[in-house]
Amino acid sequence: MTDANQQGAAAPQQQAIETMQVEERRFPPTAAFAAQANAQPGIYARDFDELWATEAGRIDWFEPWTTLYEWEPPHAKWYLGGTLNVCFNCVDRHVEAGRGEKIAFHWEGEPADELVPISYVDLQRRVVVFANALRKLGVKKGTAVAIYMGMVPELPVAMLACTRLGAPHTVVFGGFSADALSDRLVDMGCEVLITQDEARRRGTTVGLKVIVDEALEAAPGVRAVVVAQRTHGPVAMTPGRDVTWDAACAGLSDDPASCPCEPMDAEDLLFLMYTSGTTAKPKGIVHTTGGYLVGAATTHHYVFDHKPETDVYWCAADIGWITGHSYIVYGPLANGATSVLYEGTPDFPDRDRWWEIVERYGVTILYTAPTAIRSHMKWGAEHAAKHDLSSLRLLGSVGEPINPEAWIWYREHIGGGRCPIVDTWWQTETGMILITPLPGLTTTKPGSATKPFPGVDVAVLDEAGEEVGPGGGGYLVLRRPWPGITRGIFGDPERFRDVYWSRFPGLYFAGDGARIDEDGDYWLLGRVDDVMNVAGHRLSTIEIESALVSHPLVAEAAVAARADALTGQAIVAFVTLRGTAEGSLAMMEELRNHVAHHISPIAKPANIVFTPELPKTRSGKIMRRLLRDVAENRPLGDTTTLADPAVVGELQERAAGENAGEE
């Protein structure tokens, strides 16, 4: 604490966010990968208009577009005048081209004996029947539909059936609370809800329909509920409103001609994806049809170096997150991919489940989140070592900055030291990957998302809106539109301007901090709301967390600030240890010194709370806002989107204990 104070008094800094981490490891592409890569030299030099006009050719248009884009910040439109159908592009055209027998999804249930290969023609039949069922329920172009399911085959089928009819959907994470669900149903004006009886989770079942029934008390606009029977568990059915999936589909045609793909305008609403703000009501992020699909398909092709004939691709995210929309469903299917779709958790029945899956299908491309990688690190490399992972040729990361230690572990223990890693930065609002290595071209650095995707114009600005030079930290902005950019917040244009466009007028402000290094590579520093101010130094969370994670006994760490009389704010670290290691005062001292040595005494946590789990969202992001509340002994804000709400209660107790110990 005194170190920080002295340093702060001696050297107040001008930077918007200070950076201290030095990472010198470099991983250039191999010649063999480069030779076969989808991204070839010259791609970064492509003209913006040429690039997005040419890439639009990946998609089949019913009517060709006439204007590439229109841009009047904050409003963007792409491929004006074009008409298309997303389901046609993701399903029908592959069948028509003779690729109907190709596997679209290797679906695998949580019970390991449920393996269902779904070919493109199977997918088409399922989608057509279900679209016919929705039509019978009165769904047509423009009808808002909600989907509240786990990772069952019916989930992508329901999404594609909606897009076939031109009905916009919102997918709500299976397991969100009744309140979270009803807020979204009401905000979008949903008339129909598609769900399942129960979801399977870690060997037990979680009732979804029972949550739906509670949610619908507050969402009277929903007039029909379709219930897929995943477990055939007992559920209450409301006559006149609820119908099982099978009953809704009974006797209906699976002939594509019986339910043609609705031609949609490029700018018609495709879906809403709600993101929870801190306390305010969730924002319905709008995505439209043409630009979104071009953006998802193009980035999926180049970033994952995807080869439809030979790759087995696995994005191990949940479809209820934007990552699942763009990189399990729409991007990969538009590109005719063969994917793995897995229902369960990584540690059920055992901690090698994922590696068993990689071996079973010969997965070549794996895309996951740092939180999952850190869990596997915590469990130990021996689980991966039991399986043949030699099919893997490319690894991806998304969702949070990846700690360099986790990046190296992923490369060594999962990628066998031979696979390029793409650390992909993007958001619900961006719809598609925007900052990423291109495998075969980019020299990667652990912890850096490296370069903007071709055609994407990114900058890092200081408080005053000036560009910061190499090495400086600041605010990440986008200066030009891209096809997948959100068209707004559903029903709330003012909030849209306010949240994203008012900090730097005319520029899209992502809410993230970033630094650019001497090579022009980007290092994401986390949400600017999480930046801490210690004795006049503005510190990002990631570097301190990564310093902690680089200690051999630390599995995972998150830092937050609490008020401090001397330094303004003081850092509190929440640390999960590996294996059987125990927290102690000696351990705390060791970790504080470790941070001091690895980055700077300024960054030394004032205290450390040891905890078996950190509070995370369903998509695995650490909720530092809640940690701030815990560190400050404040009542907790909204916890409804937590993966496991019990975690914070326990944390509060531990933090109270630690604080008492300090005094």
**Which of 382, 339, 388 minimizes the C-alpha distance to 360?**
388
Closest CB to ligand 7RM among residues 148, 327? 327
- Residues whose CB is less than 8 angstroms from the CB of residue 641 and which lie 6 or more positions away in sequence, other chains included: 176, 180, 276, 617, 618
Query: Rule CB under 6 A: is residue 400 a binding residue for ligand 7RM?
Result: yes
Closest CB to ligand 7RM among residues 449, 535? 449
Q: How far apart are CA 589 and CA 594, in angstroms?
A: 8
Query: Rule CB under 6 A: is residue 318 a binding residue for ligand 7RM?
Result: no
Strands (E), 163-276: 169-173, 192-196, 198-201, 204-207, 224-228, 242-244, 264-265, 269-275
Site string for ligand 7RM, 587-626 (x = CB under 6 A): --------------------------------x-------
Closest CB to ligand 7RM among residues 105, 426? 426
80: tokens are 């004006």
**Which of 344, 340, 403, 339 minimizes the C-alpha distance to 371?**
403
**Which of 584, 587, 578, 541 minimizes the C-alpha distance to 556?**
578
Planar angle of CA 362, 365, 370, nearest 5 degrees: 120
Site string for ligand 7RM, 438-467 (x = CB under 6 A): -----------x------------------
Stretch that binds ligand 7RM, among 154-162, 453-461, 510-518, 641-649 (CB under 6 A): 510-518
Burial class (CB in 10 A: 0-12, 13-18, 19+), 618: middle
In degrees to the nearest 10, what's the CA dihedral of 224, 229, 230, 231?
A: 130
Report in angstroms how near the CB of residue 118 gets to ligand 7RM at its nearest. 25
475: tokens are 């605010």
Closest CB to ligand 7RM among residues 268, 429? 429
From the centroid of its chain, how far is CA 36? 28
Query: Rule CB under 6 A: is residue 428 a binding residue for ligand 7RM?
Result: yes
What is the total count of residues that contact ligand 7RM (CB under 6 A)? 20
> Contact with ligand 7RM (CB under 6 A): which of 512, 530, 545, 658?
512
> Contact with ligand 7RM (CB under 6 A): which of 259, 269, 419, 524?
524
Helix (H) or strand (E) holding 165: helix 154-165
In degrees to the nearest 10, what's the CA dihedral of 591, 595, 596, 597?
A: 100
Q: Is 243 helix (H, G, I), strand (E, B) or coil?
A: strand
Site string for ligand 7RM, 321-340 (x = CB under 6 A): -xx-----------------
CA gyration radius, the chain: 24
Query: Rule CB under 6 A: is residue 398 a binding residue for ligand 7RM?
Result: yes
> Contact with ligand 7RM (CB under 6 A): which of 65, 271, 425, 509?
425
Q: Give the number of other Cβ atoms within 10 Å of residue 584's Cβ.
A: 10
Report in angstroms how near the CB of residue 101 gets to ligand 7RM at its nearest. 33
**Which of 405, 336, 334, 337 minimizes the C-alpha distance to 367?**
337
Report in angstroms how near the CB of residue 354 gets to ligand 7RM at its nearest. 20
Stretch that binds ligand 7RM, among 10-18, 35-43, 377-385, 399-407 (CB under 6 A): 399-407
Query: Rule CB under 6 A: is residue 276 a binding residue for ligand 7RM?
Result: no
Query: Rule CB under 6 A: is residue 543 a binding residue for ligand 7RM?
Result: no
Query: Rule CB under 6 A: is residue 427 a binding residue for ligand 7RM?
Result: yes
Stretch that binds ligand 7RM, among 88-96, 143-151, 397-405, 484-492 (CB under 6 A): 397-405
Report in angstroms how near the CB of residue 478 gets to ligand 7RM at its nearest. 12
Report the interface residues with ligand 7RM, using CB under 6 A.
Answer: 275, 322-323, 398-401, 423-428, 449, 510-512, 524, 527, 619
